[in-house]
Structure 1
Amino acid sequence: MSHGPRRIVCLTEEPTEVLYALGEQDRIVGISGFTVRPPRARREKPKVSAFTSAKIDEILALEPDFVVGFSDIQADIAAELVRRGVEVWISNHRSVDGILDYVRRLGALVGASAAADDYADGLQRGLDAIVAEAATLPRRPRVYFEEWDEPRISGIRWVAELVRIAGGDDIFPELAAQSLAKHRILANDDQIIARAPDIVFGSWCGKKFRPEKVAARPGWADVPAVRGGHLHEIKSPIILQPGPAALTDGVREMAGHIRRWALEG
């Protein structure tokens, strides 16, 4: 007998990706318009939300018995749905351990605890393998991860942790601890230039990263990443969502760039 909610609306991508991975996709009746993983979800499920907005009436028409969202940014959407009698879970995980725990909790909520535990264990093994490989590299780069360009916003906590797992050292660890993007805004480029990143990863939250624009910034000519041509885009769907994508494709892509840099020297 199946347990847990039967009609789930996912307001962000990560619950969709997790539920598909657990074989529980038939429970999903609506998804975020930003969902790209897995690709079949876009073909199979109606899109009823963005990130900061949602089509409340369309969600209600789907008769959900559970809605899953993420963070304070979706608080207003959640409040409106709660007022309309819908059960809502807003997760607020911001770390690698938090993502793994999220997988386990979401699995438990849909009665798939064993499958979720196995899946989370597999994700952890994948991260452990990347750590082990990174430990064999001859050197570690200083890494600047840019989440937005104007204003400059440095990477969130799980991104900084994945940079370390991949073999690099995030140059703004004190900012990574700040959960809100507005608290990770850099007043000017002086701090970045002074910390001399060897690699710059850009993930401009849905906007194409332009390495040539970064290289042309005033004062950046002598930044090691610019001199060495190590300016790389990490596409936002695989790194800026606190779900399985970041722990698989996202961290592996960063690890590949870091490995190439480390072996250049």
Structure 2
Amino acid sequence: MNCIFPTTRRVLIALGVLGVLAAPAVAETMVTDATGRSVTIRDTSRIVSIGGAVTEILYALGQSDKIVGIDTTSLFPPQAMKEKASVGYMRQLSAEGVLGLRPSLMIAIAGAGPKEAINVLEAAKVPLVVVPETFSIEGVAQKVAVIGKVVGEEARAQCIVRRLNADKDALTKIRAGIRAPKRVLFVLSFINGRAMAAGKGTAADGIIDLAGGVNVMSDYEGYKSINDEAVIAAKPDVILTMKRGGADDLTAETIFAGPAFQTTPAAATKAFVSFDAAYMLGFGPRVGRAARDVADALYPELKSAQLPSEQPSGPCIE
């Protein structure tokens, strides 16, 4: 019995992906993805990468020449946005746009959507591997291992994982030297005069924890608009935010101009920290360095020289 919905079937037929793809004869690889599905990969010659960390990992694994499409969160390395076709924002995908690139393989970070588009992609005769997303160094290592197996670069993946583990050990030593953890408020943006702040289960929460800080908004999940009373009650020592590279980037002047923020300990010392969004929140292979840089900003009195020296952003070759 054909279980593909009529609309989905028409889309797939129109795109020519319901039939058997003429893939090069290569060894099959089977992986279990983040959804629990067993996915068989036969051809990695045309990859659509959905998720900034996925794209960064593929480049680090030396697979850039096989990528034919990326999403708009794939900001690193910078040449990716210049070299590759865009399939749009990872949470607002068009199945037609993805399949129109004639991929032989699709790799998407967990949380990509909408669900209707993912259903169409899963129904296509093109392997879709959903990669798990957890905001920790262990989570990044898992992403690297899965993608490495998918593209047949397990040795390079192991090299990157070893780097990540070295970063993790060094960060543990750094955190051991912190006597009074800083209370950190991550502000994503302002909407109607209210701060949109990061709660638990977010990339911001993950990087604050790695850097040895305390997220003052850990009593809720995700991002939430908070009122002035919540800002005052949180008593943050540091305001953390991200740079998008546009005119709407938040500045210390903008933040501390708010009456509620003026009352905080952060305002007293003008403790404002901002990093590139993809670097700080991407949770790709650079996460260890990003966490060290945040730790240096939170605790300038500490030395983080025990972290591994800066490593190349290119392929991990040993």
Q: Which amino acid aligns with 1:18?
A: I
Cα distance, 1:8–1:66 mapped onto 2, change above 3 Å: same
In the TM superposition, 1:16-165 aligns within 5 A as: 16-74=55-113, 75-96=115-136, 97-150=138-191, 151=194, 152-155=196-199, 156-165=201-210
- Name the structure 1 match of 2:11: none
CA separation in 1, counterparts of 2:302 and 2:271?
11
- Name the structure 2 match of 1:167: 212
Please tell me whether the aligned partners of residues 52 and 75 of structure 2 are also in contact (alpha carbons under 8 angstroms): yes
- Name the structure 1 match of 2:282: 241
Please tell me whether the aligned partners of residues 231 and 261 of structure 2 are also in contact (alpha carbons under 8 angstroms): no
Cα distance, 1:204–1:148 mapped onto 2, change above 3 Å: farther
Q: Aligned-pair distance for 1:186?
A: 4.3
User: What TM-score does the superposition give when structure 2 sets the normalisation length?
Assistant: 0.71
In the TM superposition, 1:224-263 aligns within 5 A as: 224-245=265-286, 247-260=287-300
Please tell me whether the aligned partners of residues 11 and 31 of structure 1 are also in contact (alpha carbons under 8 angstroms): yes
CA separation in 1, counterparts of 2:55 and 2:239?
30
* Structure with more helix by fraction: 1
CA separation in 1, counterparts of 2:218 and 2:157?
30
Q: Aligned-pair distance for 1:255?
A: 1.3
Please tell me whether the aligned partners of residues 147 and 204 of structure 1 are also in contact (alpha carbons under 8 angstroms): no
Q: Aligned-pair distance for 1:2?
A: 6.9
- Name the structure 2 match of 1:9: 48
Cα distance, 1:174–1:120 mapped onto 2, change above 3 Å: farther
Structure showing greater radius of gyration is 2
Gaps (5+ residues) in structure 2? 1-25, 29-40, 304-318
Please tell me whether the aligned partners of residues 7 and 64 of structure 1 are also in contact (alpha carbons under 8 angstroms): yes
RMSD over aligned Cα, in angstroms? Answer: 2.6
CA separation in 2, counterparts of 1:30 and 1:92?
20
Q: Aligned-pair distance for 1:72?
A: 3.3
SS in 2 for 1:174: coil
Please tell me whether the aligned partners of residues 231 and 260 of structure 2 are also in contact (alpha carbons under 8 angstroms): no
Q: Percent identity?
A: 24
Cα distance, 1:189–1:205 mapped onto 2, change above 3 Å: farther
Cα distance, 1:252–1:168 mapped onto 2, change above 3 Å: same
SS in 2 for 1:219: helix
Please tell me whether the aligned partners of residues 87 and 97 of structure 2 are also in contact (alpha carbons under 8 angstroms): yes
Identify which range, 218-227 or 51-60, moves more after superposition.
Answer: 51-60
Q: Aligned-pair distance for 1:113?
A: 1.9
Please tell me whether the aligned partners of residues 184 and 237 of structure 2 are also in contact (alpha carbons under 8 angstroms): yes
CA separation in 2, counterparts of 1:39 and 1:57?
26
Q: Aligned-pair distance for 1:107?
A: 0.9
How many residues of Structure 1 are paired with residues of Structure 2 in the alignment?
A: 256
Q: Aligned-pair distance for 1:61?
A: 3.2
